[in-house]
Amino acid sequence: MPTDEPDTRNLFEEFVVPTYSRYDVVLVRGRGSRVWDEEGKEYLDFGAGIAVSTLGHAHPRMIEALDRQARKLIHTSNLYYTRPQGELARKLVELVDVQGKVFFSNSGAEANEAAIKLARKFGNECSGPLKNGSPKFEILTFHRSFHGRTIAGISATAQEKIKEGFAPLLAGFKHLPFNELAAVEKAITGETVAILIEPVQGEGGIYPASNEFLLGLRRLCDHHGLLLMLDEIQCGLGRLGNWCGWKEIVKEELVPDTISWAKGIGGGFPLGATWIRKKPIHSFTGAAVDLCDLLKPGTHGTTYGGTPLACATSLAVLETIEQEGLLQHARNHGDYAKKQLSALPGIKEVRGIGLMLGIELGEEFAPLAVNGKTPSQVIVVRSMQNGLLTVPAGPSVIRWLPPLNVSRTDIDEAVSILARSLDEIRPR
Ligand SMILES: Cc1ncc(COP(=O)(O)O)c(C=O)c1O
- At 103-112, the pLDDT tens digits run 999 999 999 9
pLDDT in tens, 376-418: 999 999 999 999 999 999 899 999 999 999 999 999 999 999 9
Measured in angstroms, how far is the CA atom of residue 298 from the centroid of ligand 1? 26
Average pLDDT over residues 309-322: 98
Q: Residue 130: pLDDT band by 50, 70, 90 thresholds?
A: confident
Distance, CA 299 to ligand 1 centroid (Å)? 23
Q: What is the pLDDT of residue 288?
A: 85
Cβ-based neighbour number of residue 282 at 10 Å: 13
Average of per-residue pLDDT across 74-84:
98
pLDDT at 129 over 90: no
* Residue-level pLDDT at 112: 98
pLDDT at 285: 73
Of 101, 295, 159, 138, whose CA–CA distance to 227 is shortest? 138
249-268 confidence digits (pLDDT tens): 998 999 999 999 999 999 99
Pocket test for ligand 1, best of 146, 149, 197, 302 (most atoms within 8 A of CB): 146
Distance 155 CA to ligand 1 centre (A): 14
Would you kindly state where each structural domain of the chain is located, as residue ranges? Answer: 8-58+325-425, 73-323
pLDDT in tens, 156-173: 999 999 999 999 999 999
Query: Which architecture does CATH list for 73-323?
Result: 3-Layer(aba) Sandwich (3.40)
Model pLDDT, residue 230: 99
148 lines ligand 1 (CB under 6 A): yes
Q: Which CATH class is domain 8-58+325-425?
A: alpha beta
3-class SS of residue 309? helix
Average pLDDT over residues 68-91: 98
Long-range pairs for 393-397: beta carbons < 8 A, 24 or more residues apart: 393/202, 393/203, 393/204, 393/205, 393/206, 393/358, 394/144, 394/204, 394/205, 395/369, 396/348, 396/360, 396/361, 396/365, 396/366, 397/205, 397/206, 397/358, 397/359, 397/360, 397/361
Instruction: Write down the pLDDT at residue 283.
Output: 80
Read off the pLDDT of each residue in 193-211 and give the average, rounded to a whole number: 98
Closest residue by Cα to residue 241 from 338, 106, 115, 343: 338
Q: Cα–chain-centroid distance for residue 143? A: 16
CB of 270 closer than 6 A to ligand 1? no
Determine the atom of ligand 1 nearest the C-alpha atom of 234: 16
Contact 103, 273 (CB under 8 A): yes
Which of 155, 233, 258 gets mutated to test ligand 1 (max ligand atoms within 8 A of its CB)?
Answer: 233
User: What's the gap in Å between 414 CA and the centre of ligand 1?
Assistant: 25
Ligand 1 pocket, residue 248 CB under 6 Å: no
Identity at 325, one-letter amino acid code: G
- Decide if pLDDT at 3 tops 80: no
Confidence of residue 2 (pLDDT cuts 50, 70, 90): low
The predicted pLDDT at position 128 comes to: 74
pLDDT band with cut points at 50, 70 and 90 for residue 1: low
Mean pLDDT calculated for residue range 348-375: 95
Q: Residue 135 has what pLDDT? A: 87
Whether pTM > 0.75 for this model: the answer is yes
* Amino acid letter for position 285: T
For residue 255, the model assigns a pLDDT of 98
What is the full DSSP assignment across 324-363?
TTHHHHHHHHHHHHHHHHHTSTTEEEEEEETTEEEEEEPG
